[in-house]
Chain A
Amino acid sequence: MEIPFVVNARKDTGLFNSKVGIWLFLASEVTLFGGLFSGYLFLRLFADFPWPERTLPVLPGLINTFVLIGSSVTVVFAWAALKMREWRKFQIHMSITLACAALFMVLKGIEYNAKFHHQAVRLSGGSPVEDFAVIEGHVHKVKLEGDHLVHADKNDQEAFYANQLIFKAESVTFALKRPAHEAYLQMILDQAPEGVEITLADDYKVGGEVILEKGEPLSVEMMDQLEAAYLDAISKDTKIRTAFEKASWKWIRDEKGVTEQGTYVVEMDLWKERRKEDVKNYSPLMLRAPAEAEFAISAPFNLRLDPDDVPPGLRGDSQMTLRDDTVIKGQLLESPIVMAVDAIDFRHTAMRAEKEGIDPMKAIESSWVLTHQPKGHGVEHSENTLKKAWECHQAWLSFETERLEKKGRKPTDQDKYRINWDQMIAYQQLDFDPQKVRSASDDGTLYETHLFDLSGFAGANHDKHHFPEVEIPREKVGFESTFTPKWNTYYAIYFTITGLHGLHVIGGAIVLGYYLFFGRKMYESNPEWLANRVEVGGLFWHFVDLVWIFLFPILYLM
C-alpha cells in the first residue's frame, strides 16, 4: 500500500505527513521546556539564598550561541541544496552542521568539567548571625604523613583531594539488616595497609551453630555469606512466630466462636495470657541471629572517607556511620579542607544580617574568613591573605561607590559582598595592597571584564594564577560541594536544562548524520522525499537553537 502525502503536501493543510508529526512533537517539546523554564522562574523568585547572578563565564556560552545559530543557517542551506539537487553542496553544509554540533558539545564538556572541579564551602557557626560566608576555589592535593596532611604533588600516587575525612579506624561493624554497600567494603579493604588484618571479632552463631569463626578475614564473599545466614535465620524466626499466632487465632475461633458479624470474641486478658504463653513457648525455638557483625582491626590505620559517604549528622569524633549503616569506630583526625581561594562571597551572611537588623559589614567583619589565624599544611602563615583581599576589595568598593554616586547609581550586593575571581587576580597582582588597589582603581587600570580572557575561559585558571590558600577546619564547614546540582538550586536547574538541551543536540546530530551518511540511495531514487526528511530534521534542529536562544541570556547573563 502506498502511503499518501509523504512526498507531496496535502492541498488543504499544505503539509506532508512528517511535517505534521514533527510539529506535534515540537509542540510537546515546547511544553516540556516551558515547564522547566517555569521551574527556573519558581526557584529564582522563591530562592531563600542570594541567587548566583551572572555567575557563569560568558565566553563559552557566547561561542556556543554563535555555533548553534551558524548551524541553523547551514542546515537550512543543506535543505536548499537538496531542493536544487546539489548533492555535493548538501554534503558540505550538513557536514558543517554536524561539526558545529560536535563543537557545541565539546565546549559544554569543558564548561561542565570546570564546574565538577570547582569547590565551594559554606561556613557555619559564628555570631552575631550565622557565618554563611562562601569560599570558592580548587581543592589541593595532599597526602598523609603519619597522622598529618602534607601538601602533595598532583601526580603523586598517594595524593588525594584535601576534602576527605581522615579517620583512624579501630573496628568496623557491618549491619546485616540490609546488604552492605560493596563499594564501601572494598574501599575499607583497599585502604588497609599491608600487614593490617581485619578479622571477625567473634564467632558468628545462628541458633548455636557457628557459621563463621572468630578471626576469619573480611572479604566480599564472607559478607555475602553472613548476610545470607542472617536473612535465612530471620525468615525462619518469622515463620515460627507466625505459626504460633495462627494456632492462637484458631484456638479462639474453636473455643470461643465467631459472632454473626464474623468477629472473634475473646476477653482481652485471656488473649494477653495466651500470647504470653506463646512467646514463652516459641522463644527457645528462635534462632535470633545477630543483626550485625563486628570486625577487629589488628593495627588501627587512617581511613580516608569521602564526606558524601558519611552524612554530617552521622559523624562523630569517635564513630562514623556510613550511608549503608556500617559503623566505624576509632578517632577522627584533623580533616581540614585545604584549597586555593578564587572567590569569596559574603552575600548570604549580609542577607541574614539585614534580616536580623544588623549592619551587614559588621557581620562580615566577624566572619571566620576574616578573623582566623591561618594555618596551612601544618605550616604557620603569618598573615591572613583573605583578610587582605577583603581590605583590597573595600578599597575598590569605596572608589566604585564614589564613581557610581556621580551617576546617581549604587553598587550592587554582588559588588559589595563578593570578591570575584577576576578581582582576586587583580588584587593579587597588586600584592594585596589596598593602597595600590585604590590608586589602580583611580587610574582605571585595575582589571578588565575578562570577557575575552581565554585563560579564564570556563572559570578561574588555577594553573596560570596563584590564588591565596586557606585551610578550613572541619568544624567550620557547614556545607561543601563542587558546583554540581547539589550545591544549590541554580546549579540544579542549570544542569537539568542544559543537560536535556545537550541530549537534544546529540539526538538531532544523529538524525542529521543519518541523512548525510545514508541518504545517497534515497537521493537517487526520490530526492524530494529526502529533502522533506531533511526539512523535518532541520525543523528539530532550529528548535534546539531556539531553546538555546533563551537559555543563553537566562543562565549566563541574568
Chain B
Amino acid sequence: MAGSIEEVKKAKKLYLFIGTLLFVFTVITVLVATVEWLDFGDHGFDGIDATIGLAIATFKASLVMLIFMHLNHEKGLIYFFYGLAIFMAAACMILIGWTKADPIRDGNWERADGFYNLEKPATKPEH
C-alpha cells in the first residue's frame, strides 16, 4: 500500500480487527472438528467436515492475503504472479483427481502382476 501516515494509522485498527477475526475462526475450526453438535454430515470426520474446515481455512487465508499482505491495495501485476502460482498448485491437485478418475489406473486393482493388489505382493521381474 502507498502508506501515508494517516492511512497507516487507520489501517492499524483494521489489522487488529482482522487478527481477532482470524483467532475467532481458528476457534470455530476446532469446534467444528471436536464438538458433536457442530459435527455436520455423518458422525465423525467425513467429506462435509473436510469441506467446512477447508472453506474456513481458505477464508482465513484470503483475509491474510488481502489485508496483511496488502493485496487489496496492489495493482494487477502481483495478481498475475499469484494467480499463476495458485493455478499451478491447483493443477497439481486436479491431476490427482484426474488419476483417480482414470479407468486404466483405477480399474486395475487386481492387475495380474499384483502391482496394485494388496493381497499378493508384486513379484520381482525375472532376469
Q: Chain A interface (Cβ within 8 Å of chain B)?
A: 9, 13-15, 19-20, 23-24, 26-31, 33-35, 37-38, 41-42, 45-46, 48, 53-54, 58, 62, 65-66, 69-70, 72-73, 76-77, 80, 83-84, 355, 404, 407, 409-412, 414-415, 449, 451, 531, 535, 538-539, 542-543, 545-546, 549-550, 552-554, 557-558
Among A15, A30, A412, point to the contact of B82 (Cβ < 8 A).
A30
Instruction: Tell me the bound Cα distance from A547 to B5 in angstroms.
Output: 31
Q: Chain B interface (Cβ within 8 Å of chain A)?
A: 2-3, 5, 8-9, 11-12, 15-16, 18-19, 22-23, 26, 29-30, 33-34, 42-45, 49-50, 53-54, 56-57, 60-61, 64-65, 68-70, 74-75, 77-78, 81-82, 84-86, 88-90, 92-93, 95-96, 99-100, 118
Q: List 5 A-B contacts (CB under 8 A).
A: A26-B81, A27-B84, A73-B15, A80-B15, A550-B57
A219 to chain B, nearest CB (A): 39
**Contact, CB under 8 Å: B29 / A557:** yes
Given contacts A30-B82, A553-B54, A77 and B93 within 8 Å (CB-CB):
no
Among B53, B65, B75, point to the contact of A14 (Cβ < 8 A).
B75
Given contacts A37-B93, A45-B100, A546-B65, A27 and B34 within 8 Å (CB-CB):
no
Instruction: Tell me the bound Cα distance from A550 to B93 in angstroms.
Output: 15
Given contacts A24-B81, A62-B26, A553 and B34 within 8 Å (CB-CB):
no
B27 to chain A, nearest CB (A): 8
**Contact, CB under 8 Å: A27 / B81:** yes
**Contact, CB under 8 Å: A80 / B8:** yes
Ordered nearest first, which 7 A-B pairs have the shortest CB separation? A34-B89, A412-B44, A38-B92, A27-B85, A30-B85, A73-B19, A557-B33
**Contact, CB under 8 Å: A34 / B77:** no
Chain B residues near A41: list those with CB within 8 A.
93, 96
Instruction: Tell me the bound Cα distance from A33 to B43 in angstroms.
Output: 31
**Contact, CB under 8 Å: A76 / B82:** no
**Contact, CB under 8 Å: A38 / B93:** yes
Chain A residues near B78: list those with CB within 8 A.
15, 19, 23
Chain B residues near A53: list those with CB within 8 A.
44-45
Among A24, A46, A72, A553, point to the contact of B68 (Cβ < 8 A).
A72
**Contact, CB under 8 Å: A72 / B92:** no
B75 to chain A, nearest CB (A): 4
Task: Look across to chain B and name the residue whose beta carbon is closest to the beta carbon of A54.
Answer: B45
Chain B residues near A29: list those with CB within 8 A.
85
**Contact, CB under 8 Å: A27 / B90:** no
Task: Look across to chain B and name the residue whose beta carbon is closest to the beta carbon of A415.
Answer: B44
Task: Look across to chain B and name the residue whose beta carbon is closest to the beta carbon of A70.
Answer: B19
Task: Look across to chain B and name the residue whose beta carbon is closest to the beta carbon of A532.
Answer: B3
**Contact, CB under 8 Å: B89 / A31:** yes
Chain A residues near B68: list those with CB within 8 A.
72-73, 76, 538, 542, 545
B118 to chain A, nearest CB (A): 5
**Contact, CB under 8 Å: B23 / A66:** yes
Given contacts A14-B75, A34-B90, A550 and B29 within 8 Å (CB-CB):
no
**Contact, CB under 8 Å: A546 / B33:** no
Among A13, A62, A80, point to the contact of B11 (Cβ < 8 A).
A80
Given contacts A33-B89, A42-B96, A66 and B19 within 8 Å (CB-CB):
no
Chain A residues near B86: list those with CB within 8 A.
30, 34
Instruction: Tell me the bound Cα distance from A542 to B42 in angstroms.
Output: 35
**Contact, CB under 8 Å: A549 / B23:** no
**Contact, CB under 8 Å: A411 / B82:** no
**Contact, CB under 8 Å: B5 / A20:** no
Given contacts A30-B89, A553-B33, A557-B29, A414 and B44 within 8 Å (CB-CB):
yes
Given contacts A15-B77, A45-B96, A549-B57, A28 and B5 within 8 Å (CB-CB):
no
A128 to chain B, nearest CB (A): 14
Instruction: Tell me the bound Cα distance from A13 to B74 in angstroms.
Output: 9
Chain A residues near B56: list those with CB within 8 A.
553
Chain A residues near B9: list those with CB within 8 A.
80, 84
Other 16 A-B pairs with CB < 8 A, given A26-B81, A73-B18: A20-B77, A23-B82, A27-B85, A30-B82, A30-B85, A37-B89, A77-B12, A80-B8, A404-B43, A412-B43, A449-B34, A451-B34, A542-B69, A552-B29, A557-B30, A558-B45
Instruction: Tell me the bound Cα distance from A26 to B89 in angstroms.
Output: 12
Chain B residues near A415: list those with CB within 8 A.
43-44
Task: Look across to chain B and name the residue whose beta carbon is closest to the beta carbon of A404.
Answer: B43
Q: Which of A45, A53, A542 has the most CB of B within 10 A?
A: A542
Chain A residues near B64: list those with CB within 8 A.
72, 542, 545-546, 549
B28 to chain A, nearest CB (A): 11
**Contact, CB under 8 Å: A58 / B30:** yes
B54 to chain A, nearest CB (A): 7
Chain B residues near A414: list those with CB within 8 A.
44
Q: Which of A30, A48, A66, A84 has the most CB of B within 10 A?
A: A30
B84 to chain A, nearest CB (A): 6
**Contact, CB under 8 Å: B60 / A549:** yes
Chain A residues near B77: list those with CB within 8 A.
13, 15, 20
Instruction: Tell me the bound Cα distance from A19 to B81 in angstroms.
Output: 12
Chain B residues near A553: list those with CB within 8 A.
29, 33, 53-54, 56-57
Instruction: Tell me the bound Cα distance from A363 to B65 in angstroms.
Output: 51
